[in-house]
Amino acid sequence: MAVLALAGCAAVPTYPVGTAWDAPPGWRLSVTGMRCGPAATLDPGDPDEQDTCLVEVAYRNIGDRARPFSGTTDEPGPTWRLVGYDAQAGEFHGRARPTAPTPPGGSGTAQLVFEVPSGLRLSRVLVGDAIVRLSG
């Protein structure tokens, strides 16, 4: 496991895509892949950018009560901070698609949505307190 230091932050654990890690408050996560392309196809609505990158996440609730992966107002969940980075360290803030509550021991998948300029692909993503390398 490598460690990446972000400006002004303590060391952040870094994982390759497909590696699982524990994330507060009681989740086991693994980023499993990414798709990028036209926002009209991948994230219909009113995007600010023409393209979108969808980062796929598998999760398991290892806590003791049901909770949504995407969080609530009182408990933001593991997606409290989502930042995608391109190869030049440009930042793109993301959001998690809403999820239903997951019971203890339950699992599921979710998508993290990042609006990006046309043709751009993310090289890594910060999910809460961990970085995942998407390429290279």
pTM of the model: 0.87
Q: Interior CA angle at 132 toward 48 and 55, to 5°?
A: 40
Beta bridge partners of 108: 59
Distance CA 122, CA 125 (A): 7
pLDDT in tens, 14-28: 999 999 999 988 999
Alpha helices in 1-136 (DSSP H): 39-42
pLDDT digits (tens, 9 = 90+) for 50-104: 899 999 999 999 999 999 999 888 888 899 999 999 999 999 999 999 899 999 9
Residue 36 Ramachandran class (φ > 0 left, ψ -120 to 50 alpha, else beta): beta
CATH 3.90.1170.50 fits 2-133, yes or no: no
